[in-house]
Each structure stands twice: as C-alpha cells, then as structure tokens.
Chains A and B, each alone.
Chain A
Amino acid sequence: MALIELKDVRRVYDLGEVQVHALRTVTLNIESGEYVALVGPSGSGKSTLMNTLGCLDRPTHGSYLLAGDEIVTMTRDQRARIRNTQLGFVFQSFNLLNRTSALENVELPLLYSRGISGRERRMRAKEMLTKVGLGDRLHHHTSQLSGGQQQRVAIARALVNRPSFLMGDEPTGNLDSKTSREVIDLFRVLNEEQKITVILVTHDQNIARNAKRTLVLRDGEVVEDTTDFEKAVAALNEEVADD
C-alpha cells in the first residue's frame, strides 16, 4: 500500500462569479521512503496540492488516502490530529513562534498530542535539536538564531512527533545559497539514513535535482512524473516556451 494515494483530486475555488480550478485532476501515489520534488511555475497549483497533501485544505472532489485513511471525509479536528501525528511541516518563512526558545518551539507539537509528559516532551525536543545540530542552542530565542538555524529548528519541530512524512514548502526560499545547501543536505540525510519520506515544493532546480523523483505541475495537472531530472527540466522549459 502506498503511503499517499491521490485519486482524481480536484480543487475548485468558488469566487462567486468565477470558479478557479486550482487542481483540475491529480492522481498519484507516493511510497514510503520516497524523496519527491514538486515543481512548476507560479499558479500551477503547487501550493494547493501542498495544502491538500498537508491536510490543511480539503479537495472539492476525489479521494486522498494517507496510510490507508480517507482524509477528504474527515472533520477539522480529525485533520488537525493527522497533521499533529503524521505530518511535519517546514515553511519558507520558518513560522517559528517569536520570543520563544528553540526548545519550546520544538516541544509545541508534542503539547498538542495526548499523553506525553512534560519531561518526555523536553527530552524528545532536546534529542531532535541535537540531531539537527543545535544541541548548544536549546535556550536561544528564535530571533537570536540565523536563518539556517531557524530553519533547522523548524525541521526539528516537524520531526519531533515522528511523522510519516515531511513536507517542505520552499524551505530554502529565504536562505542564502550556502545555508540552503546545508538545509538540503539535512533533508537528504533524513531521507537516506532515517528513511523519512520527503516532499518538497520548490522552484529552484538545484534543490529539485536532489530529489529522487520529480513531479512537474502545470495548470492544476501533473504533466511530468519522472525519476530522470533532465526530463523534468525539459518539461518545465517546454511550458515556459509555451507561455
């Protein structure tokens, strides 16, 4: 059984007079342990697909099975629970809480899951921060950390609840090339050594090149699904040529 199964997923935004088809139809499977890059020009539906996969948004049509569970029919609270236990998010703008220490930021997801004691929370958060190389920055506030360090705190937060997969929404978008590489290396290590499923949304080809599989989106449809990155680049450029 695939970890993620999308079947004819559509997302229509009803703006009153016009209807925007953000996702026309998407059908795809992602297996556990894969490293997938989602690429495509702006407006291609990347973010919508991302929000759908991340259980933040609900498709208007179709079926989304995550580890065998149907997400589309779930209530808000049920989806919150899935986000808490099955998913780790890493955002472009880090989205850490201000004026809060690294440790507390990483503890946050554990606060929202049941039956974890304060001591265990702190222990797991500490362990995870050490793993991303911030063992000596536990009590620094987020504003006292560099961009790369902040993003590593965010990754630690995403992984602390041992999710089934990790999602990155342009995770290197706000970082310089050197720290970008560090963060991407971290993703690669997590995928190769810890077998964590990674799905990245990016428009940076250097980042996408790291992924083992690339999905190219255009106008709400997957136009290329390949393990050969050159083919993906070709598909992307073809679209640019069309425009």
Chain B
Amino acid sequence: MNLIDTVRIALRALLKNKMRAALTILGVVIGIAAVTTIVSIGQGASRLVQGEFQTLGTNMILVLPGNTKRGGVRQGGAPTLTSVDADLIGQQCPEVLASSAVVWTQGQVIYGNENWNPKEMLGVGPDFLTVRNWQLEAGGFFCSSDIESNAKVCVIGHTLIPKLFQTTNPIGQLIRINNVPFRVIGILEKKGANMVGDDQDNVVLMPHTTVRKRINGSPLDNVHAIMVSARSTGKMNVATKQINSLMLERHEISPGDEPDFTVQDTTEIAEALGMITGTLTLMLSAIAGISLLVGGVGIMNIMLVSVTERTREIGIRMAIGARGKDILRQFLIESVVLSCIGGVIGLVLGTGASVGATVLINMYKPGTQWPIVVSIPAAIVAIAFAAAVGVFFGYYPARRASRLDPIDALRYE
C-alpha cells in the first residue's frame, strides 16, 4: 500500500467523524497558533531593537574616558580624550569608517521671543552624521574649517522647528544658545523616538571646538567621548581592537596598567537586548507549547477511542492480509494527518493574529513601527512540530491496533 493510498484512507476515515476530527484538531490549532503568534511577535520585537540600533548609528563604537582614582575611589569622566584622538582614530584605523569627537552641554536656545531647552546639545566633528548614519533634510553641515575657527554655526533637529520658528524657514536665522549667537545652517532628517521613547529629534549640533570654548568655557582640549562607526557589523571586533591598540600607544599605557579610556562596542548592548527578547520569546513559546502538548494528548485519546471502535475493521483488514505494520501505518498516518491539518490551520490563524496584534500596537503607540514578521522557517518548524506531535501521540494507539489478534478483533462486537 503506498503513501497516497494510506493518506486517502486516513482522510476518509477522519471524514466519517467530522465533528470529532474537528474538535481533536482544535487542540493542535490552538497550540500551533499560540506558538506562531508569540514567535512572530517576539521576532518583531527583536527586529525592532535591532532597527533602533541602526538609527542610533550603524556599527557604533563608543570611546569613553577612563576612571580617575582619588584615594582609591574610582570616578568616571577623567579628561583624557582629545579631539586629536578622534581625528587619529578616523585616519589610522583601517576598519573605522568615521569618527567624531563629542562634547555635551546644556542650556537654553532663544529665537525672537520663543525659547526652548533641547534635550541634547552636542558639540561634534564634521563626520558626525556619517558616524550616526544620519542625513540632512535641508541646508548643510559644518566642515573642518568651521571646527578650526570655532565657528558659531549649528544644525538643528526637527523638534525645534515648531518650538522656535513655527512657519519661518530656520535656515540662515540667528539663534542664541546660552546667549551666544549661532547661525542655523542645516536641519536634520526626522528620526523619531528611540526604543526608550526619547525624542531623538530634540537636538542641536554645533562644532565641538565652539561648544568647548564659547559655551563650556573650558581651557582644555579634552572631549567627553568619541563616537566611531566601523565599516561593517562584521568588522566591529577588528575595529575595536585597532582603536584599542592605537589609543594604548597614543596614551602611552604600558601593558598591565589600567587604560585611561574604555572602548564600548554597541553590538554587545544590541546582543544583550536581543538575548532578552529572545529569552522572553522562548519562554512564552514554551508556555504556548504546553497547549500544543495538551492538543497532542487529545489526539492520543481520540485515536485510542478510534482503535477500540474500529477493532472489527482492523480484524477484517488483518484477515484479508494486512500486516501489523500496515495497520500501524494506517493509524499513525491518520493521527499525523489530523495534527498536520491542525498545524496548517493554526499557522494561518497564528499569522493572522500576529499581524493583527502588530497593527494594533502600531495603531495605539504611534511612533513605534513594530515590524510585521512572517517567517517561513518558523512556519516550516511549526508544521514539522505538529507532525511530530501526531507521530508521538499517535504511535501508542497505532501500535495497540497493530498488535491486535486477528481472531479476537474479528469477533469483537
């Protein structure tokens, strides 16, 4: 008897008890639908996290100053990094795409009779936009001569436009930042909120030299951080190593001594976040998997009933020449067909539910673009899992059927 015949016979046997088959399938449907939905939403979440890291800047590496030690007490933020470090990292490390010194400040921006406190006021280098993978919407960015001349120019984020300028075109306007007049030369492209919900467009960028000398009034050439982007995600490790060795050499740190800087690789953070969402997904899937298990027990139960009910049929089949393994196969295929049908229906429902949930999330939490993930490998795994449930829970009843004695089975009423 070939497989197609067996499947045909199994389908026919199942169709003789449509209601029972439907209810049996329901357990598997719910299990597979739950797993599919949770995996799909979970994958959406981890993709969202990854996407946020992309907006943060591609392949970002952060160089921060090291610790200062005062009487054995460590404190962060020693003034050990300089803008020269930033420039050299950009020039000498082959796997570094771009780097920029970063100096931060705080204060008030005034235009006409409007004022605003931007969340981030950064002094940066000319390559900052490359590092952060950010584009300009209008105007231009400052160049290295602006850095050298401590030029009083700035580029603003989108949030500032309605707060200060309303309908006026901001480009070319003079604004006062902590009472220093700056000319607006560019507007940044809108980036939206980051994953914590902070508005990333609430920002003013100025040359780092200008911020240091004219706003912070610092006599030193030190910067707060250096932002670096590697050429590709795969080269992050190499780039990190290159930065490390360059900095060790420049700062004359002998081996064994504690360096006066730290190099932070954001993929680690991304990976950590990815692991958190991954673990959550796995845990929820396991819970959903329990419902699949219950569905499997339902199949086993119905198959056992079916074997008892059809004892006589089994006897007839054996009398006319069915071997034990023919009977085993018949019942096993029946339970696999049951669970696979359940798997397919569950997959369709689960996919529908996850798309629906995603749409709802995006609708009620504007600003987040939760991606819709329909993963083909996950679908294949789900169906394979359903089939495995069918085999696992169908085996015992099928084996029982195949072990029946033909004479007893024929006599069974």
Contacts and interface: CB of A to CB of B under 8 A. Distances in A.
A99 B13 CA distance: 10
A80 B318 contact: yes
Contacts of A109: 320-321
Contacts of B321: 80-81, 83-85, 109, 112-113, 161
Interface residues of A, number: 27
B314 to A, nearest CB: 11
B316 interface: yes
Given A56-B406, A76-B324, A95-B312, A83 B317 contact: no
Contacts of A14: none
B273 interface: no
A112 B316 contact: no
Q: Give the top 6 A-B pairs by smallest Cβ distance, nearest first.
A: A84-B321, A80-B323, A112-B321, A109-B320, A77-B323, A83-B321
A76 B406 CA distance: 10
B319 interface: yes
B322 interface: yes
Contacts of B221: none
Contact of A97 (B313, B324, B326): B313
The SS class assigned to the B binding surface is helix
A112 B322 contact: yes
Contacts of A113: 321
B323 A76 contact: yes
B250 interface: no
Interface string B375-413: 000000000000000000000000000000011001000
Contacts of B406: 56
Interface string A46-88: 0000010010110000000000000000001100110111000
A83 B16 contact: no
B319 A77 contact: no
Given A80-B323, A81-B323, A97 B316 contact: yes
B257 interface: no
A66 to B, nearest CB: 14
A95 B323 contact: no
**Among B317, B323, B324, B407, residue most surrounded by chain A Cβ atoms (within 10 Å):** B323
A157 B324 CA distance: 20
B1 interface: yes
A57 B318 CA distance: 12
A138 interface: no
B320 A91 contact: no
Contact of B1 (A57, A89, A91, A111): A111
A235 interface: no
Contacts of A108: 317, 320
A56 B321 CA distance: 10
B17 to A, nearest CB: 11
B5 A111 contact: yes
Contacts of B313: 97-98
A51 B407 contact: yes
B326 A112 contact: yes
Contacts of A77: 323-325
A112 B320 contact: yes
Interface string A97-116: 11100000000110111000
A149 B89 CA distance: 96
Nearest to B5: A111
Contacts of A51: 407
26 contacts: A56-B319, A56-B406, A76-B324, A77-B323, A77-B325, A80-B321, A80-B322, A81-B321, A81-B323, A83-B318, A83-B320, A83-B321, A84-B321, A89-B319, A89-B320, A95-B319, A97-B313, A97-B316, A98-B313, A108-B317, A109-B321, A112-B1, A112-B322, A112-B326, A158-B320, A161-B321
B323 A112 contact: yes
Nearest to B410: A95
Nearest to B312: A95
**Among B315, B319, B325, residue most surrounded by chain A Cβ atoms (within 10 Å):** B319
A161 B322 CA distance: 13
Interface string A121-165: 000000000000000000000000000000000000110010000
Contacts of A91: 410
Nearest to A157: B320
A161 to B, nearest CB: 8
Contacts of B319: 54, 56, 83, 89, 95
